[in-house]
Structure 1
Amino acid sequence: MARRLKDPADWKTDILHCLEEVKRLAGAHSEARMNRRPEEGTWSAAECIRHLNLTAALMAPKLEAAIRKAKERGLEGEPPFSTGWLGSWFLDGSGPGARPLPVPGRYRPEGSRDDAPSSSLDVARTVAEFDELQQRWLDLIEEGRGLQLDAVRAPSPVIPILRLNVATWIEGMPGHQMRHLKQMRRALGDSGEGEG
């Protein structure tokens, strides 16, 4: 059964919300706090951002190629877009409220498997990279304007046989980010008011 996806304007709103929240959290907490792991085997807030950077950076070229292909094939179209059962399963499993799943190695922040109480990421650099990647995703949405984004597929960079339509991948990114924003807030003990 097909599932109707959000409008591209909502994708943009969600991406900008995630960007604002990452900047707020990074601005409200010290570098040491952003790198502190709440307990052994968990990620720090900075590692959550790094994970989001890795996923976005690996996926963006796949979507750029798929959008080029859609343009070459003349696949014109407008929202609403939809996804099938596999895309629905993916969105439900990667968004906020989904059960944690094992993270493939290519998406794991460097050093995240060690048992140190803190990570050692440069938070300003990690947030700047997040900002750049969010802009890249906003550019992808613009590049896809006027194209039938649910008629062209792109493979996962980690599991190439997992091929979803471009609209599903784009909708999934901010949902995945919102999931990890919740994880970041838990790691920081942040209720939305910073360290005070």
Structure 2
Amino acid sequence: MKIATDELITDLMKRTRKCLAKGEQLRDLPEAALNLKQNETSWSALECLEHLNLYGRFYIPELSKRVAEARAGSEPVFKSGKLGNYFANSMLPKDKLNKMKTFKNMNPLNSRLNKDQVIAEFLEQQQELLRLLEHARKISLNKTKTSISISKWIKLKLGDTFRFVIYHNQRHLVQAERDL
């Protein structure tokens, strides 16, 4: 995938603002509604948000570190890497979400969750993503590499990592809405 860098960042910021708005809407719902489940092995809407928070606890500091360490100088075009493009595209929400296994340490199933804490953390993470995306306008999304949560040996381009995280957020917000 090739895309103008500014166009990519603008798209990712738009998607993140939508995630932020959905999170704010969820904040207004009763806790009982947010804890409803379709069955005992599915996640509630609140568990979907906690899953995103768990990933955010890894990716937000990783993105912050890489953005802060990057030298100034962006390119006009972002060219996705093969692996990064695959990971990002696999997270895009689809009409019928394909089920994926999650790692045990990222699985909030049957967790005791505080609605206010979970939603507040999610909203803070979305605000931080917006801040990082704004800073990313000044650096290389191609040359700056990030670690990923499943392996310290695999590195993705910064642009692909942003895409993965934000598409993943969208995917689970669609799931959360379906659970309500």
- Please report the TM-score for the alignment, with normalisation by the length of structure 2: 0.88
Aligned-pair CA distance for 1:184: 0.8
In structure 2, what residue type is equivalent to 1:186? Answer: R
Residue aligning to 1:191? none
* RMSD of aligned residue pairs (Cα, Å): 1.8
Closer, same or farther in 2 for the Cα pair 1:92/1:7, shift >3 Å?
closer
Does 2:167 align with 1:170? no
8 Å Cα contact 2:62-2:147 kept in structure 1: yes
Task: Measure the CA separation in 2 of the matches of 1:138 and 1:78.
Answer: 20
- Please report the TM-score for the alignment, with normalisation by the length of structure 1: 0.82
Residue aligning to 1:80? 77
Residue aligning to 1:104? 103
Residue aligning to 1:9? 10
Closer, same or farther in 2 for the Cα pair 1:91/1:146, shift >3 Å?
same
Q: Unpaired runs of 5+ in structure 2?
A: none
What pairs up with 1:147-186 in 2 under 5 angstroms? 147-186=139-178
Aligned to 1:161, what secondary structure does the other structure show? strand
Query: Percent identity of the aligned residues?
Result: 28
Residue aligning to 2:42? 42
Equivalent residue pairs, number: 176
Q: Unpaired runs of 5+ in structure 1?
A: 189-196
8 Å Cα contact 2:2-2:79 kept in structure 1: yes
Instruction: Render the CA deviation track for 1:102-122: whole Å, top value 9, x for unaligned.
Output: 11123222xx1x5xxxx5321
Residue aligning to 1:127? 119
Q: Which runs of 4+ in 1 moved over 4 A?
A: none
